[in-house]
Amino acid sequence: MKAALAIIASLFLATCAQPPSVLDQILQAGELRVVTRNSPSTYYLGAQGPQGPEFDMASRFAAELGVTLHIYSVPTVGDVIRELKRGRAHIAAAGLTRGGVLPRRTSFGPPYQQVKEHLVFRMGGSRPRSLAQANAGHIEVAGESAHTATLEQLRLRLPSLAWVENSTAETDELLNRLSRGEYDFTVADSNEFAIGRTFHPNIRIAFDLTLGKTLSWAVDSRDPALLNRVTAFFAALTADGTLASLLDRYYGYTERFDYVRSRDLMAHVQERLPAYREFFQEAAKKYGLDWRLLAAVGYQESQWDPTATSATGVRGLMMLTEDTARSLNVADRLDPRDSILGGAAYFVSVRDKVPRRIAEPDRSWFALASYNIGFGHLEDARILAQAHHKNPDRWEDVREYLPFLAQEKWYALTKNGYARGYEAANFVDNVRSYLAVLEWVTGDANRPAPPSL
């Protein structure tokens, strides 16, 4: 009898026990499941694996938890929301606008990026000055997106406002179709537009539909533990400057990228790159580099013209000086393979001078600046940055001081004197821009979804 009562009591207590929190389930399983979208502003496969701002943040969060990240992409924002509703992901890190409709037991995490919603048009078309003027044309937006919700709100002021919701295309595809003239206008968040204009240089902002919104993760909030951990994660990421650095990696170059360079690059990717891609890949394999980075340097130097020659005698696809070519045993600077292999060897030689404590991608940006201006001048800029209480191991801080090397009151204080530091800063900006395009147009980010939780 006593044994039976003990069994009944244990069963009763078991039924009353609290189930493990979502965070505990993640920790016990050793896996964080994150759903995202395949786009240059969220997640994609680059030369060395997955990347994108959402991937970088999600991988940092998983590392903080001490678990494996399982990230997968779905086609649209609507699909992201459905994945959350089905319980197939713990977090949606997909460039979601805070304030949209989420499934039950799902909440927005803290905001991590401010954006505006642009009405976008194509160069050569008529630029509307008001929503009423835009309404005379064809407006197409992503279905089930925050943009449709914005237009719904605006229709309260302009009842005749009409648009087409595309349920199968995301903003990057809509920008592509707009650039081809398939319709008159679309709506894009400012971060999506910033990257999109790199690929579609003929798109322009007509005006802003909203003054500002924020992006956030959507988090399984059946209990508060995971949401609290996400909130603490972003607070720390913001406080130590990591979030700003991460966003600059993907968006910093876009403000300094112009229409002509972008237009020409997209044409040359099709017309010129195929002839030299194999050489870039060969050199990258030999020196342990990303071939797209070498290609981006080559494009900055010569626009992939193996016969390029400067007034100072620098020649070839990678624009090597005669002394540099000789030191690298490059027999013929005008031979594209020799030039690319020589450029790769030279890049590695200058990168090796950059302190190894500097993390990527900043170490590569420093190496590029050194490739352009010389390591001594780069060190001068780092010293100036440190003297002004900036971080000499952070590219954006040092970039700010590179132009000072052309000002006498500053270069007089340096060991190596005058240098056209602004050119080195622009050199790195341009290479980063070209690299971003090459990573996206040559990447693929399709991964299967996980089973339901």
**pLDDT tens column, 285-317:** 999 999 999 999 999 999 999 999 876 678 999
- Which residues form the domain of 20? 13-110+215-255
Give strand pairing partners of 188: 118
Token readout for 32 is 């964080």
174 touches 151 (CB < 8 A)? no
**pLDDT tens column, 358-381:** 998 899 999 999 998 889 999 999
Token readout for 447 is 């991964």
Rounded mean pLDDT of the chain?
87
In a domain, 3, yes or no: no
pLDDT band at residue 6, thresholds of 50, 70 and 90? Answer: low
State whether residue 162 is helix, strand or coil.
coil
213 touches 115 (CB < 8 A)? yes
Q: Based on the domain organization, do 205 and 220 belong to the same domain?
A: no
191 touches 248 (CB < 8 A)? no
Q: Looking at the 3D structure of the chain, how many domains does it have? A: 3
In a domain, 186, yes or no: yes
Q: Could you give the CA distance from residue 142 to residue 37 in angstroms, rounded to a whole number?
A: 13
The reported pLDDT for the residue numbered 255 is 60
Q: Based on the domain organization, do 85 and 163 belong to the same domain?
A: no
First vs last Cα of the chain: how many Å apart? 41
Q: Based on the domain organization, do 323 and 432 belong to the same domain?
A: yes
Q: Based on the domain organization, do 432 and 319 belong to the same domain?
A: yes
**pLDDT tens column, 92-111:** 999 999 878 899 999 999 99
Give strand pairing partners of 45: 50
Q: Based on the domain organization, do 48 and 173 belong to the same domain?
A: no
The reported pLDDT for the residue numbered 451 is 40
The reported pLDDT for the residue numbered 421 is 86
**pLDDT tens column, 312-333:** 678 999 999 888 899 999 989 9
**pLDDT tens column, 209-267:** 987 899 999 999 999 999 999 999 999 999 998 898 888 877 876 665 555 566 788 88
In a domain, 96, yes or no: yes
**pLDDT tens column, 184-224:** 999 999 989 988 887 787 899 999 998 789 999 999 999 99
Task: Write the burial class of residue 288 (CB in 10 Å: 0-12 exposed, 13-18 middle, 19+ buried).
Answer: exposed
pTM of the model: 0.65
Q: Based on the domain organization, do 177 and 234 belong to the same domain?
A: no
Q: Based on the domain organization, do 296 and 393 belong to the same domain?
A: yes
Q: Could you give the CA distance from residue 442 to residue 47 in angstroms, rounded to a whole number?
A: 8
The reported pLDDT for the residue numbered 16 is 53
Q: Based on the domain organization, do 227 and 201 belong to the same domain?
A: no
In a domain, 447, yes or no: no
**pLDDT tens column, 129-175:** 999 999 999 999 998 888 999 999 999 999 999 999 998 888 888 99
In a domain, 1, yes or no: no
Q: Based on the domain organization, do 369 and 246 belong to the same domain?
A: no
Q: Based on the domain organization, do 163 and 264 belong to the same domain?
A: no
In a domain, 7, yes or no: no
In a domain, 6, yes or no: no
| CATH code of residue 400 | 1.10.530.10
Mean pLDDT calculated for residue range 28-51: 83
Is the pLDDT assigned to residue 38 strictly greater than 70? Answer: yes
| CATH code of residue 149 | 3.40.190.10
Phi, psi of 443 (to 5 degrees): -100, 170
Q: Based on the domain organization, do 269 and 394 belong to the same domain?
A: yes
pLDDT band at residue 409, thresholds of 50, 70 and 90? Answer: confident
Q: Based on the domain organization, do 166 and 237 belong to the same domain?
A: no
In a domain, 5, yes or no: no
pLDDT band at residue 445, thresholds of 50, 70 and 90? Answer: very low
Which residues have a catalytic role annotated?
A: 301
**In the chain, how many H helices and how many E strands?**
20, 13
Percent of the residues in the chain that have a pLDDT greater than 70, as a whole number: 90
Is the pLDDT assigned to residue 3 strictly greater than 60? Answer: no
191 touches 118 (CB < 8 A)? no
Do strands 68-74 and 31-37 pair parallel, antiparallel, or not at all (unpaired)? parallel
State whether residue 38 is helix, strand or coil.
strand
